[in-house]
Amino acid sequence: MARRAQPLTLAGIGAAGLVGALILGTAVAVLAEAGRGRLGPADWAALRFTVVQAGLSAALSVGLAIPVARALARRRFAGRGLLITLLGAPFILPVIVAVLGLLAVFGRSGWVSAGLQAVGLPPLSIYGLHGVVLAHVFFNLPLAVRLILHGWQAIPAERFRLAASLGFGPGDVARVLERPMLRSVVPGALLVVFLICTTSFAVALTLGGGPRATTVELAIYQAVRFEFDLGRAALLALVQIALTGAVALAALGAAVPDGMGAGLGRVVARWDADAPMARRVDAVWIGLGALFLLAPLLSVVLRGAPGLLDLPGAVWAAAGRSAVVALVSAALAVTMAFAVAVAVARLGRRSGRAVEATAMLGIAASPLVIGTGLFLLTFPAVDPVTLALPVTASVNAVMSLPFALRALIPAVAAAERNHGRLADSLGLVGWRRHWRATLPAIRRPLGFAAGLAAALSMGDLGVVALFADASSGTLPLALYRLMAAYRMDDAAAAALLLLAASLALFWVFDRGGRGHVEA
């Protein structure tokens, strides 16, 4: 693969470099402003809590995802494709919307508690570590299901056919086919969920139940916003990056699964799972998974629908701004991801991994520290308000880059593997090669990555809060402002709008990527 450096390869290295500079540079800028920081015992407690909750969340998300993914992998039913798409919704849901939805279901006066009280049992309390973990499982179960389901579908149909011809029962299929697959997919899925949960902020804030549930990101927030201890904030950000880096290194053997952008529509014919018991077990798992993931969404819809048409104009304007930011952010994310993916495919194994790892830093970064650092760096030169939307779009792009990369790196590598030599022989080089040969081959993961980036950006509140004022706010900010003005019904309607906009953005891109080819 040693070819001469091409512009796009350089662009990919450049993009990764920029991401690294943005994440580490802003932390250093904050640290420089502050002189030096010191971490106290509370910060170490926050680190401990972060690790515990992320570990539990990862274990539970992946543990529950296995039976759900198995059931989805081996059952064919009407609406299966729609269900899989909807099951993905929580992952792209704005945190505040999700928390409202979870409370409507699991809160003290939520549906579950109402049911418990009807039979004379005490209501649930979801505040505390278990609440944080519950919310994280809600967010990450869909991702874990997706990754593991992809693992299942990556087992060639022919193997199941072979297994059937050899008279394998379900146990034999599990031992010979499924467990080896899980051994290769599960560690990576655990790693991804763990990393996502380490930077949790809003969930811990609302459901944590008190200061004992303080995550590192939350400690950063308090250091920046309230105690104005920038040095501590920067140090905490570096600790967070070190933590995720260490975990990623420890799990180096575990290749992160590549299921992000792949089609999940295929159902492989299975002869080992026809027993009525297996059918029932699968039906229960699919039902429970769907209930757990969809009931909170349903509550958001029910609560928000009555006020939707009466929403003030400012909210619609904010929604428009959010959509623009989301589109720009998605364009930035996939452009960077494509350049990085090409660079990774072209470069040698070692430098390729380095570029990839740098570009993946976003998963561990603190948006608040990036925002503060950018603020400190740009403030002397420019009015931060004018930068609010561009900065939000860029930072959101960096934060969703890891997911875009997981979708695009394997796809670009596969495209090179499958058609690289053909393209070489036809003299297709440079942009024409990417336009004619690579892009069409990766259209589907590209659409998925763009949809994910747009949806994640739509719901993000992290950075914009630091820069924006009322006239340049995004939809999540408008939602908070409605809540601050006692307008909870409007806020509920705005939450529904946010949910619908996030899902619609994801759906449009993902659909566009699929084109006419049915899954």
Partner 1 sequence: MRFPLIALACAPCFALPALAAEEEAQTLTVYTYDSFVSEWGPGPAVEEAFEAVCACDLNFVGVGDGAALLARVRLEGERTRADVVLGLDTNLTAEAAATGLFAQHEVLDVAWDLPVVWEDDMFVPYDWGYFAFVHEAAFDPPGDFRDLASSDASILIQDPRSSTPGLGLLLWVEAAYGEAAPEIWAELADNVVTVTKGWSEAYGLFLDGEADMVLSYTTSPAYHLIAEGDDSKRAAPFAEGHYMQIEVAGAVASSPNLPLAQSFLRFLATDPVQSVLPTTNWMYPAVTPEGGLPEGFETLIAPERALLYPAGQVPEIKAQALDTWLGALSR
Partner 2 sequence: MLRLEGVRIRLGDFALAADFALPAGALAAVLGPSGSGKSTLLGAVGGFLPVAQGRISWTGRDLTDLPPGARPVATIFQDNNLFPHMDAAANVALGLRPGGRLSAAERAAVDGALERVGLAGYAGRRPADLSGGQQSRVALARMLVQDRPLVTLDEPFAALGPALRAEMVALVRDLARDAGRTVLMVTHAPEDARRLGGLAIAVGDGRAAPPVPVAQLLDDPPPALRDYLGG
CA angle 504, 154, 72 (to 5 degrees): 60
Residue window 84-103: x/- pattern of binding to partner 1, with contact defined by CB under 8 A: ----------------x--x
How far is residue 453's CA from residue 92's CA, in Å, rounded to a whole number? Answer: 9
Residue window 230-259: x/- pattern of binding to partner 1, with contact defined by CB under 8 A: x-----------------------------
**Encoded amino acid at 59, one letter:** A
Residue 410 tokens, joined: 């394997």
**Smaller CB distance to partner 1: residue 245 or 312?**
312
Candidates 13, 205, 220, 397; binder of partner 1 (CB under 8 A) is 205
The answer to the question of residue 109 lying near partner 1 (CB under 8 A) is yes
**What is the smallest separation between the CB atom of 226 and partner 1, expressed in angstroms?**
5
**Smaller CB distance to partner 2: residue 269 or 426?**
269
The answer to the question of residue 44 lying near partner 1 (CB under 8 A) is no
> Which residues contact partner 2 (rule: CB under 8 A)?
156, 158-159, 161-169, 171-172, 175-177, 180, 269, 271, 274
**Smaller CB distance to partner 2: residue 275 or 324?**
275
Contact partner at residue 164 from partner 2, partner 1, none, CB < 5 to 8 Å by partner kind: partner 2
Residue window 336-375: x/- pattern of binding to partner 1, with contact defined by CB under 8 A: ------------------------------------x--x
**What is the smallest separation between the CB atom of 482 and partner 1, expressed in angstroms?**
8
Contact partner at residue 309 from partner 1, partner 2, none, CB < 5 to 8 Å by partner kind: none
196-206 as b/e: b if 16+ CB within 10 A: bbbbbbbbbbb
Place of tokens 């259209």: 443
Q: How many residues bind partner 1 (CB under 8 A)?
A: 54
The answer to the question of residue 487 lying near partner 1 (CB under 8 A) is yes
How far is residue 241's CA from residue 244's CA, in Å, rounded to a whole number? Answer: 5
**Within 13 A of 466's CA, how many CA atoms are on the CB side?**
23
Burial class (CB in 10 A: 0-12, 13-18, 19+), 395: buried
8-state DSSP, 123: P
Q: At what angle do helices 95-106 and 129-154 cross, to 10 degrees?
A: 110
The answer to the question of residue 331 lying near partner 1 (CB under 8 A) is no
Residue 195 tokens, joined: 């990393």
Please answer whether residues 140 and 57 qualify as being in contact, where contact means their C-beta atoms are separated by less than 8 angstroms.
yes
**What is the smallest separation between the CB atom of 470 and partner 1, expressed in angstroms?**
4
**Smaller CB distance to partner 1: residue 208 or 447?**
208
How far is residue 236's CA from residue 214's CA, in Å, rounded to a whole number? Answer: 13
**Smaller CB distance to partner 1: residue 105 or 336?**
105
Candidates 209, 245, 263, 265; binder of partner 1 (CB under 8 A) is 209
Site for partner 1 in 446-475 (CB under 8 A): 465-466, 468-470, 473
Place of tokens 């027993």: 275
The 10 Å Cβ neighbour count of residue 88 is 24
Contact partner at residue 133 from partner 2, partner 1, none, CB < 5 to 8 Å by partner kind: none
How far is residue 402's CA from residue 15's CA, in Å, rounded to a whole number? Answer: 12
Burial class (CB in 10 A: 0-12, 13-18, 19+), 483: middle
Candidates 2, 119, 166, 486; binder of partner 1 (CB under 8 A) is 486
**Smaller CB distance to partner 2: residue 153 or 322?**
153
Please answer whether residues 445 and 408 qualify as being in contact, where contact means their C-beta atoms are separated by less than 8 angstroms.
yes
**Smaller CB distance to partner 2: residue 162 or 422?**
162
**Smaller CB distance to partner 1: residue 63 or 312?**
312
The answer to the question of residue 182 lying near partner 1 (CB under 8 A) is no
Which residues neighbour 448 within 8 Å (Cβ) at sequence distance 6 or greater? 260, 261, 407, 509, 510, 513
Burial class (CB in 10 A: 0-12, 13-18, 19+), 512: middle
Candidates 242, 324, 422, 485; binder of partner 1 (CB under 8 A) is 485
How far is residue 241's CA from residue 423's CA, in Å, rounded to a whole number? Answer: 40
Contact partner at residue 156 from partner 1, partner 2, none, CB < 5 to 8 Å by partner kind: partner 2
Q: Which residues bind partner 1 (CB under 8 A)?
A: 42, 45, 100, 103-104, 107-109, 125, 127, 131, 202, 205-212, 221-222, 224-228, 230, 312, 314, 372, 375-376, 379-380, 383, 385, 465-466, 468-470, 473, 477, 480-488, 491
